[in-house]
A and B are shown apart, each in its own frame.
Chain A
Amino acid sequence: MSSPMIHAVGVRKSYGMIDVLRGVTMSVARGEVACLIGPSGSGKSTFLRCINHLEKHDAGVLNVDGSFVGYEQRGAKLYELNDKEICAERARIGMVFQRFNLFAHLTALENITLGPIRVRGLDEKVAIARARELLDRVGLRDRDGNYPSQLSGGQQQRVAIARALAMDPKLMLFDEPTSALDPELVGEVLDVMKDLAHSGMSMIVVTHEMGFAREVADQVIFMDEGIVVEAGAPEQMLSQPRSPRLVNFLSKVL
Chain B
Amino acid sequence: MNGDEPLEVVPVRHYRQWLAAAGVALGAAMLVHALLAKIPTGLWNCVTTHGQRRCSPVLQWRFHWDVVSQYFTTGPILRGLLMTIELTVLSMVAGILIGIVVAVMRLSRNRLLSSVAWSYTWFFRGTPVLVQLIFWFNIAALFPTLGFGIPFGTVFFKVNVLSVFTKFVSVLVALALNEGAYMSEIVRGGILAVDEGQVEAASSLGLTRLQTMRLVVLPQAMRVIIPPTGNEVISMLKTTSLASTVALGELLMSVEHVYNSTYQVIPLLIVASLWYIVISTVLSVGQFYVERHYAKGSLRTPPPTPVQRLRADLSGIGRKLRERPSFLRTATSR
Contacts and interface: CB of A to CB of B under 8 A. Distances in A.
Interface stretch (B7-15, B98-106, B204-212): B204-212
Given A101-B200, A104-B220, A91 B205 contact: yes
A177 interface: no
B219 A105 contact: yes
B297 A118 contact: no
Nearest to B205: A115
A54 interface: yes
Contacts of A99: 197
B296 interface: yes
Interface string A123-161: 000000000000000000000000111100000000010
Contact of B197 (A88, A101, A106, A164): A101
Max count, chain B CB within 10 A of own CB: residue among A104, A114, A149, A163: A104
B197 A84 contact: no
Nearest to A92: B206
A180 B149 CA distance: 58
A107 B297 CA distance: 7
A148 to B, nearest CB: 7
Contacts of B209: 83
Contacts of B219: 105
Given A87-B203, A118-B211, A164-B205, 4 more contacts: A95-B200, A95-B204, A114-B215, A147-B298
A160 to B, nearest CB: 8
A83 B300 contact: no
A114 B215 CA distance: 9
Contacts of A103: 198, 201-202, 216, 220
A90 B220 contact: no
B28 to A, nearest CB: 43
Interface residues of A, number: 34
Closest 6 CB pairs of A and B: A91-B206, A101-B201, A115-B205, A101-B197, A95-B204, A147-B297
Contacts of B220: 103-105
A83 B298 CA distance: 31
A28 interface: no
B299 interface: yes
A102 interface: yes
B207 A119 contact: yes
Contact of B300 (A54, A91, A149): A149
13 contacts: A52-B204, A87-B207, A90-B204, A90-B205, A95-B204, A101-B195, A103-B220, A104-B298, A105-B220, A105-B296, A118-B211, A118-B215, A149-B297
A68 interface: no
